[in-house]
Amino acid sequence: MLRWNSLVSLGDSFTEGMDDPGPGDSYVGWADRLAGMIAQRAPEFRYANLAVRGKMLQEIIDDQVPLAMSLKPDLVTFCGGGNDIMLPNSDPDALAEVYEVAVAELRSTGCDVVIFTGFDTRSTPLLRSIRGKVAIYNTHLWSIAERYHCRMVDLWAMHPLHDRRAWSEDRLHLSPEGHQRVALKAAEVLGLIDDQSWNEPWPALQQTDWVTQRKADLKWAREHVVPWIGRTLRGESMGDGLAPKRPELLPMARCSDESHVVN
């Protein structure tokens, strides 16, 4: 018998599920997939996903944490700070202090909390420059997890995520297969599975030549990085005006509606 009958997921685009397409204009993502796995083991299970793309850490804390606490779930997943870290003037030490206050508030309700390290950006052009800040932030997150007895999903150490097939075209959001890997890793952390299926090797991939790869990098920067910088400078976000996709604790759909769920 599982100890969790309810899950609330908090965060930004990573937890909302971009770019893992679902019905209509919605996204699935690792959190929905994980919720489906829990629901198959807990008949009374309910799930809410409050994550909204583009949100900064303080916005997640201000908008999502109080609502999550009011829902009184057994389990919370909390990931934030990635959008902040990408800003040139961001301070990972200060971000971690804000993050810790939110974790303390969540844990004070008695729920279990799962947190996530940041990704290792060494394989992504331009984002390599923030790798040191991500590492500092991660060090703080590990300490927070220990102090507040949180479970940790170590995205930094997930080597399968260094493969470009784990990422969508924008290289900022996971592909469906990338979300699947994270869902399986989270399931392992929660003790739902006892294998390392998230770590299965990718099929062999034909290598592209240097010139082709550089052209692809330039195209990516022009189509995805430059627009992101522009939105940031204007104080805009992809999530402006958007509501959470699952704002209430509701039972998970069954059977055909869960065809996207990873077993």
How is residue 66 written in tokens?
Answer: 């109080």
pLDDT, residue 232, reads: 67
Q: How many CB atoms lie within 10 A of CB 31?
A: 30
pLDDT, residue 222, reads: 73
pLDDT, residue 84, reads: 94
How is residue 104 written in tokens?
Answer: 């303390």
pLDDT, residue 256, reads: 31
Ordered by start, the domain boundaries in the chain are 6-196+243-257
Q: Are 92 and 85 in contact (CB under 8 A)?
A: yes
Q: Are 113 and 78 in contact (CB under 8 A)?
A: yes
pLDDT, residue 24, reads: 84
The model's pTM: 0.87
Topology of 6-196+243-257 in CATH?
A: Rossmann fold (3.40.50)
- Which residues of the chain have a pLDDT value below 50? 254-263
Burial category of 89 from C-beta neighbours within 10 Å (exposed 0-12, middle 13-18, buried 19 and up): exposed
What sign for the dihedral angle of Cα 58, 133, 143, 3? positive
| DSSP class of 172 | S
Q: Pairing between strand 151-153 and 6-10?
A: unpaired
pLDDT, residue 142, reads: 98
pLDDT, residue 29, reads: 97
CA–centroid distance for 5 within its chain: 21
What's the CA gap between 83 and 130, in Å, rounded? 11
Could you tell me which of 101, 111, 51, 81 has the C-alpha nearest to residue 247?
51
pLDDT, residue 58, reads: 97
pLDDT, residue 124, reads: 77
